[in-house]
Structure 1
Amino acid sequence: MADLRPIAAPFVALGPSGVAVRTRLKELTAEDEKVLRLVGAHLGSLAAKDLKARCVDGLEHSTESWAARKRNLTAQSSSRWAGSITKATHDQWALARRGQAAHAQSLEAGITTIRHRLSLPVGQKGTKRAPGGYRCAHEWFNKTRRLQVLEDRLHRVRADREAGRVHVVRGGKRLLGTRHHLDKAELAEAEWRERWEAGRWFLKADGESGKRFGNETIRITPEGEVSIKLPAPLAGLANARHGRYVLAAQVRFPHRGQEWADRVEANRAVAYRIHYDTRRGRWYVDASWQIPPARTIPLKAALAVGVIGVDTNADHLAAWRLDTHGNPTGRPRRFLYDLSGNTQHRDAQVRHALTRLLHWAKTCGVKAIAVEDLDFQAEKTREKHGRKCRFRQLISGMPTGRLRARLTSMADATDIAIIAVDPAYTSKWGAQHWQKPTTGPTRKTTRHDAASIAIGRRAQGHPIRRRTTPPRAHQSDVHGHRTVQAGPDTLGREGPRPRILGPRTRSVPPDAARTRATRTSNIVRDVRSVQEWVQDSLLLTD
């Protein structure tokens, strides 16, 4: 048997450290929209210039260069707008660097796989842990050419990384590429231009604690009044004091509205972002703020009343409730979602599925949900799975990291702990040990349902393998009943259960004798049937 990799211990996932809510800016006038477009375009051009300057600095960036960039921006906007722009620039540059490192790691993995397979004879079969040789000489030759392509790409990425160069597009590389394929995207040039300009606008301001309503640049009062500090070149458009423009829209945050109002009234920092949805023709405002991470409860306390094991799949969540001993109770549940369509639709589908899962968990009374700590970044490569295109699409479509992050944030409001477990062998061992025993005449247990049991048992510290059934005599009258599974830390768990007072027949409860003596029978019996029958002697007569 091949050596199994070590299984990591389960842990309680940390709660969210920030909050973001969104609402719509309704009843905007034509003048309001004109001002928002002008401010967004002006600040967007400044953000583009600042990003270019930051990319030119590369690894030579310093505090002095940052201060010089901020001074130049302040003259064309304001000090607070300049601070928000430079902060957004630094975040975007850092994100590009992380993506560059991940891309280099993916190329290295692909090159290693190709070199290994090229070193093997053509047609040699692989194992579960290592791929074999290529199927034919034609494929072997094409892979030698692909190896050169990947090596060239890796050389360029490493050179860029050493020089501090990043490739960033404000507005998104995908939208930029759509410009050359308008027919496939079913877009007119004017529609694409509107999306491109809206994606490059900048209307985002960081909050400041101690300032009025938590933000001096984009200010929203507790009554819902929205005002914007105009940049210096656009100060002539102000309709309020101190170069501010007040919008006609009155906003209200339906979600976490009271929490937002408490922060605003206490003058605590709240960051705002105003953006335009070109598809719907609507303006939105996002409010975000930081919160102290909630203290995680101990793992033992979270599992005190059982757990719900959840297996993540490409189109549904398979869940099953387990008691404190690791036994599945009730019926398995399945929460479906559809990940086709745009990003907003996929995000809404995941959110609705998690909402139903949390509602069911509250109904069951459990305080913990166990999910797999999945990461398919290393499993999506083309070289690892070769011709398994459908399998690569399957694992690429599974919302692993996004689902766990959203589940953690949503569960924080319901006082339900999220336990992350090692995903190794859960599907295989769950199907091996739990799929057949939990299948009955009226219920067919799927492989995913069995995997949810394995996930829940691993979170509880139980082995996934079911306990071996003892002999028939040991299950009943010889050594007592074994119907309840003891915990792994219970002393004498392998010994016989204690003697239960009363009759030793399963069908008769322990107090059956006392009950039978005190109750009145409902069956009317013939008196002659309980008396001794004696035959009288025959009467002899003359």
Structure 2
Amino acid sequence: MAPTQSHSTRSAPDGRMLIGQLAAAVHRVPRTGEGERCRHTGSAETSVSVENVRAAVVNGGGLVARGGGKRPRKRELRTLAAPFIVPAPAGARIRDRLRLSTSEGEVLRVVGEHLGRHARADLAERVRIGMVPTKQNRRAERKRALTRMSSSRWAGAISRASEDQYQLSLRCLFDERASLRRAAVKICKRLAVPCGQRVDGVRGYPNQAERAQKQCRLRVLTARLAEVERRIKAGHPAIVVGGRRLAKVRHNLADAGLTETVWRERWDTARMFLTADGESGAPYGNYTISVDPADGTVTIVLPEPLRHLANTPRGRYRLACTVTFNHRREEWLDRVTASRAVRYDIVCDPERGRWYLDASWSTPTSPPPTLSELIARGVRLLAVDLNADHLAACVVDVHGNPVGEPVTVPTGLTGSASRRDGLLWGGRHWQTPLQRQSKTIVTRHHGAAVAIGRRALGHGIRRRPGVTAHDQRIVTRGATGQTVPRPRARGATSPPRTTGTPHPGSKTCRDPSDQRVLLPVSQDRPGRQPAGPVCSDAAKPRPHP
């Protein structure tokens, strides 16, 4: 995968605007001595030299004029960061469904609510301790208090989860502070410029109404920044166990289409704690939640106050259902049979009324290959364009040509994202070709993904000169190295062409059933012999009656 990112600056004009500027500049280039004469006489004619034209090309179309005329606004492309290889994930997570009975579901809910209540209390205590070194977070003291209400292993999992949540919340505070500072500085720079004017490359707001709105926005950002600074100084991030968004829905149940009972069920489910960290050397990699690889049975160690609910010796509760973990099962079996650490999470989905068991473990990491190594191998790349709410991906071959249909992966993230010039160029040169070979809707983000992959392979963003256009008669003919869409198994058609197969000299057209059928050339051309039909028996044209 080769995603990229960019900085926010002005975008460049299109090709027609650039050609028009260059043509006008060439016509205005004075003869020898005319430029000086125009400047000395105070003429309104603008003196543009060949150096101006070259600078316009280098600067992406921004033409800097000298003389008595008005200076056009300089436009530049935003700087695109170099594509990089995304390393392999540092862990794996798989899931299987738990088909529980009503009584088993009630037992798990009681255990989850009991552990969740103590987990929230421990997290609150960790927040009160504040931002201190690791040795001063009093984890051992907190763990001893939790052991009396659960078990030693449950207490260890709770205290580790509290520390991880606290550190994550601190990082979010630092990121929010940086974001608020950037927004405030940007608004302050534009407020310092009068409306409708531009000073040192900074453009003022177009009218007083928008300027007043941005002044109010700046006051809001300043107040939020002060609150974030206060929380960072105190080391007390705001954490809502169960989710802040779900908590706010409680005040707008009618708009969310929920009843108080349904909301309470979702809220209580989100605040349960049923996570057991794995440990190497323990039976099947986890002593608290154990899965037998032979028959898939699941057993859970109950907290000390709930040992009366146990149905097996030593305070354990065995579920009647089993799990199989079809996805990545071999990797999971290798770990549990060798008693290597595997973490288990029991998750409830109240909307669907289902329970799941998640298994996760860490995987050995290795440095990812460089772009030059991948290019030398001649492998295909999965180019990804990062966006606010989705990932636009497309596979490109070693020549930089898209293969197959582009893919959109929704991420469900909130917030705004800056536009990218990869989107501009990719949408201009690759959105239309991708749409021709895809039956789904292709956006400029998919074109940007192709542009990113081509830059990673060392190719230019634009299509190579000499690539044949999309034409009904020559739709299957492409330039050297062009990719050929993968054949689809639909009915009986002739054998599909592949890259490197010599063209038999026949034409192609589209059948009403969207199948490619090869037909003979119906007319002679100078220097070319008519070719016979090349097709299978099932695809031969029927003679006319």
Same fold (TM over 0.5): yes
Match of 1:89 in 2: 162
Q: CA deviation at 1:298?
A: 4.4
For 1:445 and 1:278, locate their aligned partners in 2 and report how far apart those are by CA, in whole Å. Answer: 35
TM-superposed CA distance for 1:311, in Å, is 5.8
For 2:417, the equivalent position in structure 1 comes to 379
Distance 1:290 1:442, change over 3 A: closer
CA apart distance, 1:13: 2.1
Aligned counterpart for 1:319 among listed residues 391, 394, 413: 394
Show the counterpart of 1:140: 211
Shift in Å, 1:463? 3.6
User: Matches of 1:452 and 1:20 in 2, distance apart?
Assistant: 27
Query: Contact 1:204/1:272 (CA < 8 Å) preserved in 2?
Result: yes
Q: 2:422 aligns with which of 420, 426, 436?
A: 426
2:189 pairs, out of 90, 111, 116, with 116
| Conserved 8 A contact 1:106-1:378 | no
Query: Cα distance 1:239–1:185, how it changes in 2: closer, same or farther (>3 A)?
Result: same
Correspondence 1:365-514 to 2 at 5 A: 379=417, 425-430=421-426, 451-464=448-461
Structure 2 distance, partners of 1:247, 1:441, is 51
Taking the aligned partners of 2:159 and 2:130, their CA distance within structure 1 comes to 15
Structure 1 counterpart of 2:254: 183
Partner of 1:11: 84
TM-aligned CA distance change 1:245 to 1:316, over 3 Å: closer
Q: Which residue of 2 aligns with 1:503?
A: none
Structure 1 alignment gaps of length 5 or more: 348-375, 381-394, 396-423, 470-482, 486-506, 508-520, 522-542
Matched, 1:289 2:361: yes
What is the one-letter code of the residue matched to 1:426?
G
Corresponding residue for residue 149 of structure 1: 220
Specify which of 234, 246, 270 is matched with residue 342 of structure 2: 270
SS in 1 for 2:348: strand
Farther off after superposition, 99-108 or 7-16: 7-16
Residue 179 of structure 1: SS of its match in structure 2? helix
> 2:307 corresponds to which letter in structure 1?
A
Q: Do 1:19 and 1:290's aligned partners in 2 also have CA atoms closer than 8 Å?
A: yes
Instruction: Show CA shifts across 1:342-395 (max 9, x none).
Output: x8xx69xxxxxxxxxxxxxxxxxxxxxxxxxxxx97836xxxxxxxxxxxxxx7
Please identify the structure whose Cα radius of gyration is greater. 1
Cα distance change, pair 143–169 in 1 and its aligned pair in 2 (3 A): same
Identity %: 42
Aligned-pair CA distance for 1:155: 1.1
By relative contact order (CA 8 Å, sep 6+), the higher-ranking structure is: 1
1:31 aligned partner: 103
Q: TM-score, normalised by structure 2?
A: 0.64
Provide the C-alpha distance between the structure 2 equivalents of 1:442 and 1:185, rounded to a whole number of angstroms. 37
Contact 1:311–1:448, Cα closer than 8 Å, also in 2: no
Q: Distance in 2 between matches of 1:332 and 1:62?
A: 50
Match of 1:514 in 2: none
Contact 1:306–1:321 (8 Å) recurs in 2:
no
**TM-score relative to the length of structure 1:** 0.64
How many residues in Structure 1 have an aligned counterpart in Structure 2?
Answer: 393
Code of the residue aligned with 2:254 in structure 1: it is D
Q: Does 1:54 align with 2:129?
A: no
Q: 1:333 to 1:458 in 2, by over 3 A?
A: same
SS in 2 for 1:180: helix
Question: Which residue of 98, 110, 121 corresponds with 2:171?
Answer: 98
* Conserved? CA contact 2:405–2:438, under 8 Å: no
> Structure 2: any 5+ residue segments left out of the alignment?
1-58, 60-74, 467-478, 482-504, 506-528, 530-545
How far apart in 2 are the matches of 1:150 and 1:446? 33
- Deviation of 1:466 after TM superposition, in Å, equals 6.0
- Residue of 205, 211, 226 corresponding to 2:282: 211
Question: Are the structure 2 counterparts of residues 93 and 442 from structure 1 closer, same or farther at C-alpha, using a change threshold of 3 Å?
Answer: closer
1:292-317 deviation digits (Å, cap 9, x = unpaired): 02553343342232535646477884
Q: 1:468 to 1:161 in 2, by over 3 A?
A: same
**Distance change in 2, residues 1:230/1:187 (3 Å):** same
> C-alpha distance in 1, partners of 2:89/2:204?
46
**Structure 1 counterpart of 2:324, one-letter code:** R
Name whichever of 58-67 and 99-108 sits farther off. 58-67
Q: CA RMSD in A?
A: 3.6
Match of 2:307 in 1: 235
**1:118–1:454 distance in 2 versus 1, CA, 3 Å:** same
